[in-house]
Amino acid sequence: MKTNTGLLILVVSVVFIVLASGCTQQLAGKGQAEKGSNTSTLSLGSLCSGEAECAYFCLSNMGRCISYCEQNKNNALCEIVIQSQTSIQPQQNNQTGTTLKIEPIKETCTSNPNPTFTAAFTDNSKILNIFPVGNLPFGNPGTQVRTYINMKQENSTVLVPVYAPINSTLKKITYSNRTLRDQMVRAEYRLDFQVSCEVTYAFDHLAAIADRFKGVSPATPANNTGTGAMVSIPVTAGELVGYTDRNFINGNWDFFVLNTAHNETFINPSRWTSDHSKHGVCPYDYYTDNLKSEYYSLLLKSRDSDKPSCRTVSRDIPGTLSGGWFQGNSTEVQGSRLAVASFADMVDLEIVRDNQPRFFIRDANAGVVKPEKVTAGNTVCYYDREQNIHIFLRLLSDTEISLATGVRECPLTPPAANEAWIR
């Protein structure tokens, strides 16, 4: 099969630039490959193998997938990924009886790397607090760019409206079953919007969408978060787009922004390849001064902070333990990688290795030494009381650490840390 290069770049760009993983996400391609092809054995060269793996890889590596598909126009896997995200036809809204006209996906967009959000994205009086960006990135890729909105629980069954913060275009409606806390499953929505050529934003874990969109939304929930309806629907600042029911299981929902004009700073940029890491920004920095101040007052902060911070996607702090560490040629999406960072008054640490369970520790001791305070030549031990395990780390230099793990509380005599990690 032959693929027009211009159409390929256009569709793949529109599909992937507005996505964010937050929660672990996979694209499940539809459409037919060449006769007799088995999608589980197809690949995008050395980038990935199989439909599910490649769809997930491309979700966070749009540019590399576009480049490969441009040079391999007859690759059936490129065809499947593209066909799974084709635009949906206008349908009648069963509730209102009206037909929503969907604009065709356009190749052009307006450049604006610094838009101003003018409308509150929800009823701010219902917000309990907001988690800043910069979550640990490896165990659940995409979470590093998300801010989590915790809602007050009074009248928790009453839906709370969600609004567009700026004039923008709804690009994708995802409706899928989500496995949440305690392995409970429910159907939720995600809405992806484009503001300009550079800036996109998304709301995830919504309980419902505005009536206006129901006629073009998927009718039944998918079993993955990759499938959805590709649309092009203009919305205005302050327009109702959906509802949160305060997420009856997790207690929060997501709001995040990507800006391709922004390039995040890492100690070793070659380790960080996803759009979430490279282009993630704080949504509240784009608001007018009064709304920005209100949202910043809701951000969680630690006891030793004078003022709240939205943080950055990168938790790398030169000369300290804080941030990402790796072994060999690993990157944020493959190989052995370690992240350690403070969160409010706690310290979180995770180790992810290919084909192995995630190792995670949370030290909730209020007096714990935070990784950003650990400098070269010093050691620290973190203990997870609930799991009854500890991890001992020694910062050998600005670019190298060693570690050892064990059961029970941190030992009085430091163990011989024997596993090396580098930036």
The total of other beta-carbon atoms located within 10 Å of residue 377's CB is 9
Express each pLDDT in 42-99 by its tens digit: 778 767 767 766 765 565 555 667 767 877 878 888 766 544 443 333 444 444 444 4
Residues 75 and 132 in one domain: no
Is residue 14 located within the same domain as residue 76?
A: yes
* Structure-model confidence comparison of residues 153 and 268, the more confident one: 268
Say which amino acid occupies 361: I
Confidence of residue 32 (pLDDT cuts 50, 70, 90): very low
C-beta separation of 169 from 235 below 8 A = yes
Q: State the chain's mean pLDDT as an integer.
A: 83
71 and 176 share a domain? no
Closest CA to 422 of 268, 265, 266, 264: 268
Strand order in the sheet with 208-209: 160-163, 240-244, 208-209
If one counts the domains in the chain, the total is 3
pLDDT confidence of 33, banded at 50, 70, 90?
Answer: very low
pTM: 0.77
In 3D space, the residue among 384, 402, 406 whose CA is nearest the CA of residue 393 turns out to be 402
Q: Are 224 and 146 members of one domain?
A: yes
pLDDT tens track for 335-378: 999 999 998 889 999 999 998 999 999 999 978 999 999 999 99
Q: Show the DSSP H helices in 171-244 as ranges.
A: 211-214
- β-sheet bridge partners, residue 343: 346
User: Which residues constitute the domain of residue 74?
Assistant: 5-83
Q: Same structural domain for residues 190 and 260?
A: yes
Are both 239 and 379 inside the same structural domain?
no
pLDDT confidence of 248, banded at 50, 70, 90?
A: low
- pLDDT bracket for residue 180 (50, 70, 90): confident
Give the whole-angstrom CA distance, residue 79 versus residue 76.
5
137 lies in the same domain as 63 = no
Q: Are residues 190 and 223 in the same domain?
A: yes
pLDDT tens string 95-140 = 444 444 444 444 468 999 999 999 999 999 999 999 999 999 999 8
Same domain, 328 and 408: yes
Pair 322, 240: CB distance under 8 Å: no
Region 171-188: mean pLDDT is 87
Tell me the pLDDT band of 331, cut-offs 50, 70 and 90: very high
388: Cβ contacts below 8 Å, ≥ 6 apart: 407, 408, 409
Residue 92 placed within a domain? no
The rounded distance, in Å, linking the Cα atoms of 212 and 102 is: 12
- Do 138 and 274 fall into the same domain? yes
Token pair belonging to 387: 């799991």
The pLDDT value recorded for residue 58 is 64
Please report the sign of the dihedral spanned by the C-alpha atoms of residue 126, residue 344, residue 274, residue 361: negative
Kindly state the greatest CA–CA separation across the chain. 73
Domain of 269, CATH number, reads 2.70.70
